[in-house]
Structure 1
Amino acid sequence: MSFRSPFAIPRHIWNSAAPSAVRPVARSLVGCTSYQRSRFATAVPPVTQDATGSKGPTAMVFLNMGGPSTTDEVEDFLSRLFADGDLIPLGRLQSYLGPLIARRRTPKIQQQYSDIGGGSPIRKWSEYQCKEMCKLLDKMSPETAPHKPYVAFRYAAPLTETMYEQLFADGFGNGKGGRAVAFTQYPQYSCSTTGSSLNELWKWRNRLEGKRANGEADPAGTIQWSVIDRWPSHPGLIEAFAQNIEAQLKTYPAEKRNEVVLLFSAHSLPMSVVNRGDPYPAEVAATVHAVMQRLGFSNPYRLCWQSKVGPKAWLGAQTSDTVQEYVKRGHTDLILVPVAFTSDHIETLYELDLEVMEEANSPGVKRAESLNGNPVFIQALADLALEHMNKGELCSRQLTLRCQGCTSERCLGQKKFFAGKENEALVL
């Protein structure tokens, strides 16, 4: 498959071979262009700490990797991505190889974003999901209202530091206190995704209102953070996935429906990360099992992994290879299920729709809808947030446990901060 995810290091960087040409796209995504070309900024009016609820207001901050809203933003997006050693560890050569890879990949990735409508829809969906969730929370939990929506992307606007400055402008922190919940939009935890976003949030907290900002270890009036760091088998998430699969199954003839193979696809990881003890593969598998349990194990299914690139070992089997192999064997009715993404972005709209499905060349190969604006999913987000706030926990117990092979001092410091003083001794 000619597609190479922006997460991964292209083979030609390692092998010094010429980059492959961009394969022409056989079809376009009708109806995607208008929202993918737009920038959707959420206006958040200032709040005061004596607002409606006895425990409010509450800032709800969605964390995600983000994506370029226009093709002009691609190079900056890639530069930040390849500079992140948590996501793509390049060792001592990171500062040299990162910018080199970003520059060389920019034209190809710009073409891919152009093919899906001119940019990623992830900002539009993230801001919509967060805003709608906050509307529900205002009704479900008036004592912590008003709930104010924010988005902090790791590699694209709005960046973490921009979000933090907006919190200040809206009356949180800077001596005024207030509560904020960091809500990862990666349902399954990985050090490369949620871990990286939390490292970035911790870094900017320290720079803007922590020890590095004013010399105090724990200044008064700072934002009080808690974290929803994983939710791979939450019933609402599982229900949303299951309903989308059931809707796609109905497009097949009734006599064939139970024979359709369900292929759950998640972004792969280098085996070096997996072997370090990253919990992501197990948590993705937990999501898949819960969805199949909800479906009554009605169909044969497999979990596969997309976006492998380069000569090093990655978690497999790969989605593209799996589809090709099953079609050759006569399993021509397949449903791809993006199980680790909470909205459409380049991995679904380009890699799955315009690479994997087209190369399969079989009308029976289809994809379940992404979660996007699914009301069942948005209700699940609100239920998760309410449960988190009612429990009063700063983070899950899982967050306090480092990977077996972790040697990162940054990870250690971040986990101790989010675990809080009562639980920081658990982080070793």
Structure 2
Amino acid sequence: MALRHSGRALSKATSGLASSWSSWSTTLRWKPAQIQHQMRTMATVVPPVTQDKTSSKGPTAIVFMNMGGPSTTDEVQDFLSRLFADADLIPLGRLQNYLGPLIANRRTPKIQKQYAAIGGGSPIRKWSEYQAEEMCKILDKISPETAPHKPYVAFRYAHPYTEEMYERLLADGFGNGKGGRAVAFTQYPQYSCSTTGSSLNELWKWRQRLEGKSGPLDDGRDGTIQWSVIDRWPVHEGLVEAFAQNIEKKLEEYPKERRDKVVLLFSAHSLPMSVVNRGDPYPAEVGATVYAVMQRLGFSNPYRLCYQSQVGPQPWLGPQTSMSVEEYIAKGQKDLVLIPIAFTSDHIETLYELDEEVIGESGHKDTVKRVESLNGNPVFIKALADLAKSHLDSGITCSAQMSLRCPSCKSERCLESKKFFAGQQTLPGK
């Protein structure tokens, strides 16, 4: 859910696109050293899950889907090329195949410098793999009947690509006549056809290519992977709680007499208005998350929802985050807290676009601040596990919302993808 000005704004915008578009009253607070230790364990090789190693309804593959980001500056050009080639994300019409590579090539040197400024690459893969692995550890305990749970990450524009993930699934003993279940778990809490929809379309494409010809088993089942989808979760109580706690922690940095006057600026990826007017549910779902967080905070502060990372001359959903900060400061409101409400971890849009450009160029770094991203937040990771367990217990393949196309949708690929996931069989044991 890692989207988008002219002139200087256009320059800022694609920095956003070069990323990616994840008892509640108490929480464990990890120290940086502990988080670094945990992240180092991500390199540990997880033994393959095979179909002869099952519980009553397992094993279960849990696939985290996200936009992704280049892990090194050398990967930037390929990342941008794939990103601008995706008509679901950036519709460029009949000239997509020409304009996409052109824009990517021209943007690469500048975006490489931006990634170099935040450490040489995006941390989104490290955080995604960490979140997936930690969630599966919890899930093994709270849902033993569907264990073991094997974590996978599938990025749309960076390694590991969807096709790489699918090849790993097959190598680990899923599919290829052996059956098995897998959950496509979007890490965009709010659904958009440009983000979750694009990832699911890509997943469907590779499923058809790699498993479409699998033959039937003796029991009549075709032995392909049985998919279900967690396609949105904008108001899940754990997500809301994690955001609320991070906001409360940041507000404590302001003097008590000014604290309740701090303006909370929720910032989300923007969308082209052509996508919004087509009927995309994203604006409504982002608004739902913002309202739920403010409700949890008791509406303690004034707030607004704004959008970042616009690219190109066409109209995009606004107001823009950078403009909002500039305008509020011009009006004398200098106590501002930015909350990346549609992102589940740090990436270039938080570390560079918000921290370096919006806050760094505001002239008021002492009063304009950003809330910490969810990253390794244990409340958030527990929420992911609870979401997965509820989904596995439900026996449904996707939400009713996912099966409904946008009113003005003309995409045949979207139609076929939705039909596939909505039409998957009831999950094993249900």
Of 53, 56, 64, the residue aligned with 2:55 is 53
SS in 2 for 1:69: coil
| 342, 367, 373: which one aligns with 1:370 | 373
Name the aligned partner's letter for residue 415 of structure 2.
Answer: L
Report if aligned partners of 2:263, 2:303 keep a CA contact under 8 Å in 1.
Answer: yes
User: Which of 384, 388, 391 is residue 391 of structure 2 equivalent to?
Assistant: 388
Change beyond 3 A, Cα 1:219–1:65: farther
Q: Secondary structure at the match of 2:12?
A: coil
Q: What is the CA–CA distance in structure 1 between the aligned matches of 2:205 and 2:141, rounded to whole Å?
A: 33
Alpha-carbon distance, 1:309 to partner = 2.6
Secondary structure of 1:259's aligned partner? coil
Structure 2 equivalent of residue 209 of structure 1: 211
- The code of the aligned residue for 2:245 comes to Q
Among residues 259, 262, 267, which one is paired with 1:260 in the alignment?
A: 262
* C-alpha distance 5-346 of structure 1, shift in aligned 2 (>3 A): same
Cα distance in 2 between the residues matched to 1:84 and 1:90: 9
Worse-superposed segment, 389-398 or 86-95: 86-95
CA offset digits 1:143-200 (Å, max 9, x no partner): 1000000000000000000000101111111111111000000000000000000000
Equivalent residue for 2:300? 298
Q: Is contact 1:39-1:69 (8 Å) kept?
A: no
Distance 1:84 1:5, change over 3 A: same
Q: Residues 191 and 42 (structure 1 numbering): CA distance in 2 closer, same or farther, change over 3 Å?
A: farther
Give how far 1:214 is off. 6.9
User: 1:40 deviation in Å?
Assistant: 5.8
Partner of 1:333: 335
Any idea what the Cα deviations from partners look like across 1:325-358, whole Å, max 9, x if unmatched?
Answer: 1011111110000000000001100000000001
Change (3 A) 1:118 1:359: same
**Structure 2 equivalent of residue 142 of structure 1:** 144
5 Å matches for 1:97-136?
97-136=99-138
Matched-pair contact (CA < 8 Å) for 1:210–1:219: no
- Measured after TM superposition, the shift of residue 310 of structure 1 is 2.2
1:62 and 1:130 in contact (8 A); partners too: yes
Distance 1:225 1:144 in 2: 14
> Among residues 226, 237, 240, which one is paired with 1:238 in the alignment?
240
* Per-residue Cα deviation, 1:190-237 (whole angstroms, up to 9, x for no partner): 0000000000000000000015x7799x97110000000000000000
Pair 1:355 & 2:378 matched: no
| One-letter identity of the residue aligned with 1:413 | E
Q: Please tell me whether the aligned partners of residues 177 and 215 of structure 2 are also in contact (alpha carbons under 8 angstroms).
A: no
In structure 1, the partner of 2:253 is 251
Q: Give the equivalent residue in structure 2 for 1:14.
A: none
SS at match of 1:129: helix
Q: Please list every run of at least 4 consecutive aligned residues from structure 1 whose deviation after the TM superposition is greater than 2 angstroms.
A: 4-9, 38-44, 213-216
CA distance in 2, matches of 1:406, 1:49: 39
Is residue 265–residue 336 contact of structure 1 (8 Å, CA) maintained in 2? yes
Give unmatched runs, 5+ long, in structure 2: 1-8, 19-31
Please, which of 398, 401, 425 is the counterpart of residue 398 of structure 1? 401
Aligned equivalents of 1:39, 1:378: Cα separation in 2: 16
User: Given that residues 209 and 219 in structure 1 are in contact (C-alpha distance below 8 angstroms), is that contact kept between their aligned partners in structure 2?
Assistant: no
SS at 1:3's partner residue? helix
Supply the distance in 1 between the matched residues of 2:252 and 2:16 (Cα, whole angstroms).
34
| Structure-2 separation of matches of 1:309 and 1:84 | 14
Is structure 2 residue 169 aligned with structure 1 residue 160? no
Matches of 1:234 and 1:267, distance apart in 2: 20
Pairing partner for 1:68 from 56, 67, 70 = 70
**Does 2:413 align with 1:410?**
yes
| Count of residues in correspondence between the two structures | 398
Task: Judge conservation of contact 2:59–2:147 (CA < 8 Å) in 1.
Answer: yes
SS in structure 2 at match of 1:207: helix
CA drift of 1:379 comes to: 0.2
Name the structure, 1 or 2, with higher relative contact order (CA <8 Å, separation 6+). 2
Q: Does 1:5 align with 2:14?
A: yes
Between the aligned partners of 2:54 and 2:133, the Cα distance in structure 1 is 18
For structure 1, the residue ranges without an aligned partner over 5 or more in a row are 10-29, 424-428
Percent identity between the aligned chains? 75
Supply the distance in 2 between the matched residues of 1:365 and 1:235 (Cα, whole angstroms).
28
Give secondary structure in 2 for the equivalent of 1:118. Answer: coil
Q: Distance in 1 between matches of 2:71 and 2:313?
A: 31
- Take 1:62 and 1:8, find their aligned partners in 2: how far apart are those partners? 19
TM-superposed deviation, 1:420? 1.1
After superposition, the C-alpha distances for 1:388-422 in whole angstroms (9 at most, x for unaligned) are 00000000000011001100000000000000167
The verdict on how the C-alpha distance between 1:104 and 1:214 changes in structure 2, with shifts beyond 3 A counting, is farther
**Structure 1 CA distance for aligned equivalents of residues 61 and 210 of structure 2:** 17
2: CA distance between counterparts of 1:42 and 1:201?
26
Aligned mates of 2:13, 2:403 — CA distance in 1:
34
* Aligned counterpart, 2:6: none
Q: For 2:420 and 2:43, how far apart are their aligned partners in 1?
A: 30
Q: Which residue type is aligned with residue 159 of structure 2?
A: A
Against the structure 1 CA distance between its residues 39 and 319, is the aligned structure 2 distance closer, same or farther, given a 3 Å change threshold? farther
Partner SS, residue 299 of structure 1: coil
Q: 1:408 to 1:81 in 2, by over 3 A?
A: same
Partner residue of 2:198 out of 191, 196, 199: 196
